Structure 1
Amino acid sequence: MWWSLLSKYVRPSDRILMVGCGNSTFSMDMYNAGFHHITNIDFSKVVIERMRAKYNDKMPQMKWLEADMTKLCDVFAPETFDVVIDKAAMDALMCDEGDVWSPSKTVIEQAAAMCSGITSVLVPRGTFLQISFAQPHFRKRFLLGEGEQAVSSAVYGWDYSYHNIDIGFGYFFYELVKSS
């Protein structure tokens, strides 16, 4: 199900940024499916070194960088990527939130920094795809910006939609398309 959704929004020629890649095989699966222009980032130096050592020879076009997803503008120039993918990276930021109805100031600031950086590195009409366990009611405020409740974000300049993915416990596929 998620693969069919992903293939609707990503082309093999796209320049893809995978935020919070961890040691997941998601990027490798994409590479093997023909998506070769993938830059993976994670804040863990150990993870990046291990993934680079494991896959550099097999997947030479794939890049591995130690970087903070809340500081993308420090690492990448504006409009560098066609697609940014987050597979549960923002979920990791939310671990500190405590109460989902009233998240901490730190969580709100980190999510805002992440989304601001993503919109900066995306080209016009670029797409931010997020795969998450977070229900739309709770995630929407972070993806659109504090106080936004429509389907477009004046804060980040993108349009919002999502799909339910009924696999396992169920999760959500968020699609945010940057304005031109």
Structure 2
Amino acid sequence: MEGCGNSALSYELSLVGFPDVTSVDYSSVVVDAMRTRYAHMPNLRWETMDVRALDFPSGSFDVVLEKGTLDALLAGEEDPWTVSLDGVHTVDLVLSEVSRVLVPEGRFISLTSAAPHFRSRHYAQARYGWSLRHTTYGDGFHFHLYFMYKGRELSGAQLALGAQLFLPPRPPPTPCFLQDSDHEDFLSAIQL
């Protein structure tokens, strides 16, 4: 698990039966506070680390869960449709590390508000060595869950989608007006 912040998710995972939960955050202040808050839970481990360069050995985890970490790392992007090269690189560093620390047949779960047209192309990279499945959760406002299974393959359509991440950005479309608004008399069309 990474980018845990001060969320109770680690504690809740422990309560539902996960025997060993390791939580990571960049902030040592947050990690110290969480260690103190959950000192009574010996199966909860808290580590200060940068998710772009994890200190864990390869193949350390059966499951990695990310909830909003990538959202936070991409929060400064001007356009979610066209992520900057720095943003693409940052996400790639994180996902490469996730893939590295997963055991064969391990699972990566990403919970985010980012819909597939924004996020799937990042996950759909053959070099991570995983498959990709998407589903939504929630009524009204949806959360998006992405499930990656290490050791399985992406589909051809997913690989094509992933390749789009590295295409040069398209110029914005030229506006097309159906009417010549300079010669239309809007005020006379209003009937009070």
Same fold at TM > 0.5: yes
Quick one: structure 1 residues 160 and 25, their matched pair in 2 at CA, closer, same or farther if it must change by over 3 Å? same
Q: Any idea what SS the aligned residue of 1:96 has?
A: coil
Q: State the match for 2:21 in structure 1.
A: 38
Question: Is the contact made by 2:14 and 2:43 (CA closer than 8 Å) also made in structure 1?
Answer: no
Matches within 5 A, 1:37-56: 37-56=20-39
Q: State the match for 2:161 in structure 1.
A: none
Q: What do the CA deviations read for 1:83-138 (whole angstroms, capped 9, x no partner)?
A: 00001111111102211121111110110000000000000000000100000111
**1:144 maps to amino acid:** A
Percent of aligned pairs with the same residue?
37
Q: How many pairs are equivalent? A: 152
Higher share of residues assigned strand = 1
**1:160 maps to amino acid:** L
TM-superposed CA distance for 1:69, in Å, is 0.7
Q: State the match for 1:63 in structure 2.
A: 45
C-alpha separation in 2, matches of 1:69 and 1:25:
19
Q: State the match for 1:102 in structure 2.
A: 82
Residue 21 in 1 paired to residue 1 in 2?
no
What is the Cα-based RMSD across aligned positions, in Å?
1.1
TM-score normalized by structure 1? 0.81
Structure possessing the higher relative contact order (Cα contacts under 8 Å, 6 or more residues apart): 1
Matches within 5 A, 1:74-113: 75-113=55-93
Q: Flag as ranges the 4+ runs of structure 1 deviating above 3 A.
A: none
Unaligned runs of 5+ in 2: 153-192
Unaligned runs of 5+ in 1: 1-17, 146-153
C-alpha separation in 2, matches of 1:106 and 1:63:
31
Q: State the match for 1:3 in structure 2.
A: none
Larger Rg: 2
C-alpha separation in 2, matches of 1:132 and 1:143:
13
